[in-house]
Amino acid sequence: RGFKREDLFPLFSILSDPQVMLFMEKTYTLEETSLFLESHGLCASPSVFAAEDLSGGFCGYVIYHKYDESAFELGWVGKEHWGKGYAKELTPALIEYSKGKTQSLVLECSPKQKATARIASLFGFVYEGCEDGLEVYRLKI
């Protein structure tokens, strides 16, 4: 779903968590989280979308934005539901959603972040190499 302003504090709990941000970037302050929400989630063309758990509560966010001329990048960020299969459900849903909208999908991750590499392999993404210190996996659709 699209982000709502009331998602600020749950989003902050994710973006300020050192364990979540370990393979991404530095942790966010509340002000930085608010700016992120405004510029990436509440804008006219969002690049992130809220993810909900089975009870309808905010549990993280999905990354979905143009990566290059032929691809969209996808990803997911959250903590409370790690290891519960959310990535395995979100990935095929985003693959299906992307058909007819782009030629390929990209996953990027730190070489140390093995969970995303496993998801990439599971869904047929092909390793393309390392770019700007991140491993790049691509799926042609």
pLDDT in tens, 14-71: 899 888 787 777 899 999 999 999 999 999 999 999 988 878 888 888 899 999 999 9
CB neighbours of residue 65 within 10 Å: 13
Nearest Cα to Cα of residue 29 among 3, 9, 52: 9
**pLDDT category of residue 78 using cuts at 50, 70 and 90:** confident
The span from the CA of 140 to the CA of 126, in Å, is 9
Structure-token pair, residue 36 = 């992120």
pLDDT of residue 30: 97
Tens-place pLDDT, residues 94-129: 999 999 999 999 999 888 888 889 999 999 999 999
Could you read off the pLDDT of 128-140 as tens digits, one per residue? 999 988 999 999 9
What's the confidence (pLDDT) of residue 89?
85
Predicted pLDDT of residue 6: 94
pLDDT score for 79: 66
Q: What is the pLDDT of residue 95?
A: 95
| Residue-level pLDDT at 22 | 73
pLDDT at residue 115, rounded to an integer: 85
Please check whether residue 78 is in contact with residue 44, taking contact to mean a CB–CB distance below 8 angstroms.
no
Q: Distance between CA atoms of 24 and 35, rounded to whole angstroms?
A: 17
Segment (H or E) for 98:
helix 86-98
CB 58 within 8 A of CB 43: no
Could you tell me which residue, 14 or 86, shows the higher pLDDT? 14
What is the crossing angle of helices 114-122 and 86-98, to 10°? 50
pLDDT attached to residue 43: 94
Q: How confident is residue 82, by pLDDT bands cut at 50, 70 and 90? A: low
